[in-house]
Amino acid sequence: MINRAEKNTSKFNQSTIEILKENVFDNSIENESAHYVISGFGLKTFNEEQLGKLASEINRILKPNGKFSLIDVSVPKSKIL
């Protein structure tokens, strides 16, 4: 995922994009420092308590009026889907 994201940054050469690989619950990201938080992986591995901590952490690092997008896609067990 990180390699793909790094390759995709070249499509946005007018923007400053920083890709970080850190523990979401113990990271170096400063308060209110991010315009956007994007994740496309791992949400389904968190329990309810961890999801609450994740929401708090996203809120902490986003600048006022910042935006976030969280997507977690898995293959359905049903062959029909």
Tens-binned pLDDT, residue by residue, of the chain (81 aa):
778 888 888 888 888 888 888 888 999 999 999 999 988 777 888 889 999 999 999 999 999 999 999 988 777 777 765
Query: Phi-psi bin for 18: left (phi > 0), alpha (psi -120 to 50), beta?
Result: beta
Cα 53 to Cα 43, 67, 73, 74, 75, distances in angstroms: 12, 17, 21, 23, 26
Q: 0.85 cut: is pTM over it?
A: no
| Interior/surface letters 27-66, b for 16+ CB within 10 angstroms, e for the rest | eebeeeebeebeeeeeeeeeeeeeeeebeebbeebbeeee
